[in-house]
A and B are shown apart, each in its own frame.
Chain A
Amino acid sequence: MRVGVITFPGTLDDKDAARAITRSGAQAVSLWHGDADLKRVEAVILPGGFSYGDYLRAGAISRFAPVMKSVIEAAGEGMPVLGICNGFQVLCESHLLPGALTRNSDLHFLCRDQEIEITSNKTPWTRTFSINEKIVIPIKNGEGSFQCDDKTLAQLEDQGRVIARYVGDNPNGSRNLIAGISNEQGNVVGLMPHPEHAIDPLTGPSGAGLGFFTSILNSMVK
């Protein structure tokens, strides 16, 4: 199975995402921001980083990249898309996901091992987790506070589209402790913490993040 990883100028975690895909048993395919060709991938990951230096707003410029037009089209046709951290911000800016990620409530960049609870395993990216399973993966961002209006929040909650929540202290002021959400169809997922940095206890706080990558593999290979 081919999973694409997009590199924008300023993307940082693309190699980590590719490593996680490979570790799960799938094939990682590099996609370039300036190239609209999705190279026959069956799923796409938008990794973390500071695409375009976060100029204007995080993710605001990347959404206009040629590759994003193809991603938006493919997502509409049901292709699984996962945006991690800056990738989540790009998905919000692209209106593939609702809401916005704003400055952390304490105004500092925060890198720490964060416990999260998986609250939906209906998406192709969370399939291998059990509901309410708790895992520890890194969080690292300056603008990770998920915000949306009350109506959107109610929709997200009612439709079971909150896929992960922070456990314990709210690390960044996100509404309802939201760490990740999906679109209505469930194929597009945005996640603030970094599962690709938790695929091996040697280099991360746990190996539990690998579940997101084995999920997509299991979802596609049936």
Chain B
Amino acid sequence: MSLDTVATAQSSPNTKQPFAELGLKSDEYARIKEILGRRPTSSELAMYSVMWSEHCSYKSSKVHLRQFADKAPESAALLVGIGENAGVVDVGQGYAVTFKIESHNHPSFVEPYQGAATGIGGIVRDILTMGARPIAVMDPLRFGPADAVDTRRVLPGIVAGIGGYGNSLGLPNIGGEVVFDRTYAGNPLVNALCVGVMKHSDIKLAKAAGVGNLVVLFGAKTGGDGIGGVSVLASETFGASGATKRPSVQVGDPFVEKILIECSLEIFAEDLVLGIQDLGGAGLSCATSELASGGSGGMKVALDRVPLRDPSLSPEEILMSESQERMCAIVEPGKFPRFLQICKKWDVSVTAIGEVTDGNRLEITWNGQLIVDVPPRTVAHEGPVYSRPMAQPDYIDQVNSQKVNIPILQTAIEVKAAVLKLAAAPNLADKSWVTSQYDKYVQGNTIQSHPEDSGMVRIDESTHLGVAISTDANANWSYLNPYQGAKLALAEAARNIATAGARPLAVTNCLNFGSPEDPGVMWQFAETVRGLADGCLEMGLPITGGNVSFYNQTGAVAILPTPVIGVLGVIADVRTRTLMSFDTAGLDLFLLGQTDEDLAGSEWAFLHGERTGQAPAADLAREMRLIELLLAGHAAKLFHAAHDLSQGGLSAGLTEMVLRHSVGAIISVENVGVLLLSESPGRVVVALDPSKAIDLQELATHYSIKAEKIGVTGGNSLIINDCIIDLDELRHAHTSTFPRLFG
């Protein structure tokens, strides 16, 4: 095939072009022609197709996501907000922390190991490009039914991929989620969070400034993997052709990424780059157009200089390739020799592929012939924006009007059976089978990891400053009421930070939904964004960035609306953190917060096949008072332990607490059926010395939070009224589910 140059495009306006196969609609293709005043070359078409994909352009979500800016609370902590590779917050002592979640859902279904592995690789590079050293990762995961045949293919592959890549990078994995539901069969969710730390002065941005400065590509060579990953793979629903899309999945090499991280940090430390961008989704198309439009706009690139793994790649393929472990930097010519030296030390391949120009066009040549000549902003930022039709789906009124109809527990036998059943339920069972495949110790700064309420890492060994992160979603509630679901997930993530004694500071999110072309899904999405924006404004927490993943849908079946909310908090001295559970007998156990008959959307209802009723209404003012109570109690050294109650309610919370250090508890409560199983939000169990009970009551009164003594710690059993469950029996139920399913 002959080279399709700009000159050719001008002289052959009527050439048929495969825009539809590349994922572009006919009106989008028309708009490209309008922008350029001619038909695009095949290389330009390749660039626009990946950059205007749903995954890169946020074309369906943009109109809604604006609320995050419009409703943004005042925050002195926010140093870099939405729009850069990742947001940055001030955590004090001159430190800045950056964190972000991204999805790698579609690739992980098609090829679980590589899909999940490269999901880690991508988010880690996003954090690195901000100038930060990555210090930890977390993985919220969702799968089809735990006993489904395909889950036995998908889950072990994804877990091994996350471990295989993350462990090799030397990043501790400090938490996440593993949740099962039939709607995720065929659409597993692999979200990956990374957190990084730097000094304020080290923040780097994606921009190409200064005429004559070099555009430098470094890291792995470019191959034919991941071509069109963001467009044909991530931005369409799956039909029957999942497996045929395997070439669109990237193949990762964590060893190269580890070297790239160390090399980049050394380059940053010597202040050798002006702007930097990683090559992830949409590869070079994204990096060049975003860097150029982040600066003055002009850039010239000689594409034939890109080092290739496969010399037969065409310019279009090079522009679309999503080969991993590559970075693009803007470097002053005078600093380039030192840049080369550092790359040589780390055996990292490096090539200057172009330079910043004084124009406002991105010009790309292939062996001297001009094949791309575009205004870069039209590629990177001025893609199509859709106000897609939306409508409240019919199921909402139907499920909201039905009550959960499950008999309430009465007898000791029923209570015991329920506690054991919940302890063993796949969504609540011990996840060690998964988490033991992740290195949680590397770097030597992990204070808390799974199964704690939050992950916590120390960022300064001398001052003991640390950060805590939690990710949460409750798709059952989001299904019943997406607006409340988003607020409730935000509240839960913030509470999970505060139980340890850390103060919530900032929010990130990964919004996983079905097809935006379905008005019902679009309504779920819009309601979720509205809820999250309102919630963050009310709680005073800035959103630092996020990710939208649409098209998680097989045929007509969309996933449950799954907004995964990540909250980052800061703790001045990690040594003082409140533990998740108690290791001594004789402590008082108090339940903080109000328990209502909230079985709608609960795990207990789910286990009975019921997903009906109304989600609880989030009371964020009360959530904030509870957080203040937890922080005040932490400061006053009141608590031996504090543990958030969420899925599985008090039953699951107590199970986790008594098994943690094998110290039992004696619980004495009224209305045991509701109290054990309800998932009313805004509740925490705390353990404290009986002599401090009066101080707790004072705090509870001060913050208007209900505090009720429910029992004491001690013994070898979990005793709930007249029901006695031996800890060994409980442990067996809790720990045998995953080995049995995935052995």
Contact = CB atoms under 8 A, between A and B. Distances in A.
A114 B322 CA distance: 40
A92 B461 CA distance: 34
Interface in B181-222: none
Interface stretch (A7-15, A125-133, A180-188): A7-15
B447 interface: yes
B160 A111 contact: no
A50 B255 contact: yes
Given A109-B164, A112-B436, A10 B255 contact: yes
Interface stretch (B9-17, B136-144, B438-446, B467-475): B438-446
A181 B531 CA distance: 59
Given A53-B253, A109-B164, A197 B437 contact: no
Interface in A101-150: 108-112, 138, 140, 142
B444 A50 contact: no
Interface in A7-44: 9-10, 12-13, 15-16, 19
Contacts of B683: none
Interface string B440-457: 111111110000000000
Most chain B beta-carbon contacts within 10 A, residue among A49, A53, A140, A203: A203
B170 interface: yes
B721 interface: no
A9 B346 contact: yes
B443 A108 contact: no
Contacts of B443: 15-16
Contacts of A16: 441-444
Interface string A64-84: 000000000000000000000
A137 B438 CA distance: 16
Interface string B239-261: 00000000000000111101100
A204 B444 CA distance: 8
B692 interface: no
Contacts of A197: 441-442, 444
A203 B167 contact: no
A24 B252 CA distance: 38
Nearest to A50: B168
Contact of B259 (A9, A109, A110, A202): A9
12 contacts: A9-B255, A9-B346, A10-B259, A12-B168, A52-B255, A109-B164, A111-B436, A112-B436, A138-B441, A140-B439, A199-B444, A204-B444
A200 to B, nearest CB: 8
Contacts of A49: 170
Contact of A109 (B163, B169, B347, B445): B163
B441 A204 contact: yes
Given A10-B255, A52-B255, A109-B163, A194 B436 contact: no
A110 B441 contact: no
B345 to A, nearest CB: 8
Given A110-B436, A111-B436, A10 B258 contact: yes
A12 B461 CA distance: 18
A203 B444 contact: yes
A13 B442 contact: yes
Nearest to A17: B444
Question: Sorted from nearest, which 3 A-B pairs have the closest CB atoms?
Answer: A53-B255, A12-B170, A197-B441
Interface string A167-200: 0000000000000000000000000001011010
A104 to B, nearest CB: 10
Given A9-B255, A199-B444, 15 more contacts: A9-B346, A10-B258, A12-B442, A16-B443, A19-B461, A50-B258, A53-B254, A53-B255, A54-B168, A110-B437, A111-B436, A111-B437, A140-B442, A197-B444, A202-B458
A32 to B, nearest CB: 9
Q: Classify the interface of chain B: helix, strand, loop or mixed.
A: mixed
B437 A109 contact: yes
Given A9-B347, A53-B253, A55-B255, A111 B168 contact: no
A158 B506 CA distance: 60
Contacts of B446: 203
A158 B289 CA distance: 67
B462 to A, nearest CB: 12
B572 interface: no
A53 B164 CA distance: 11
Contacts of A12: 168-170, 258, 442
A49 B255 CA distance: 10
A35 B258 CA distance: 20
A7 to B, nearest CB: 9
Most chain B beta-carbon contacts within 10 A, residue among A9, A55, A110, A197: A9
B644 to A, nearest CB: 22
B575 interface: yes
A138 B168 CA distance: 17
Contact of B441 (A9, A53, A111): A111
B178 to A, nearest CB: 15
B254 A50 contact: yes
Contacts of B169: 12
A170 to B, nearest CB: 15
Contact of A111 (B170, B347, B438): B438
A110 B168 CA distance: 13
Contacts of B163: 109
B575 to A, nearest CB: 6
Contacts of B438: 109, 111
B78 interface: no
Interface string B506-538: 000000000000000000000000000000000
B374 to A, nearest CB: 38
A142 B458 CA distance: 26
Contacts of A52: 255
B440 A111 contact: yes
B346 A140 contact: no
Interface string B407-433: 000000000000000000000000010
A112 to B, nearest CB: 5
Most chain B beta-carbon contacts within 10 A, residue among A53, A194, A196, A204: A53
A110 B446 CA distance: 17
A129 to B, nearest CB: 21
A196 B436 CA distance: 19
Contacts of A109: 160, 163-164, 167, 437-439
Contacts of A55: 255
Contact of B458 (A194, A199, A203): A203
A16 B437 CA distance: 20
A111 B447 CA distance: 16
Contacts of B164: 109
B455 to A, nearest CB: 13
A108 B169 CA distance: 17
A33 B169 CA distance: 18
Contact of A15 (B347, B444, B447): B444
Nearest to B159: A108
A204 B442 CA distance: 10
Contacts of B445: 203
B665 interface: no
B254 A19 contact: no
A61 B480 CA distance: 56
B693 interface: no
Contacts of A110: 436-437
B306 interface: no
Nearest to B259: A9
A194 B259 CA distance: 23
Contacts of B160: 108-109
Contacts of A142: 167
A169 to B, nearest CB: 12
A202 B574 contact: yes
A55 B439 CA distance: 20
Given A108-B160, A111-B441, A204-B441, A53 B447 contact: no
A112 B167 CA distance: 14
A53 B575 CA distance: 35
Contacts of B256: 53
Nearest to A204: B441
Contacts of B254: 50, 53
A196 B442 CA distance: 10
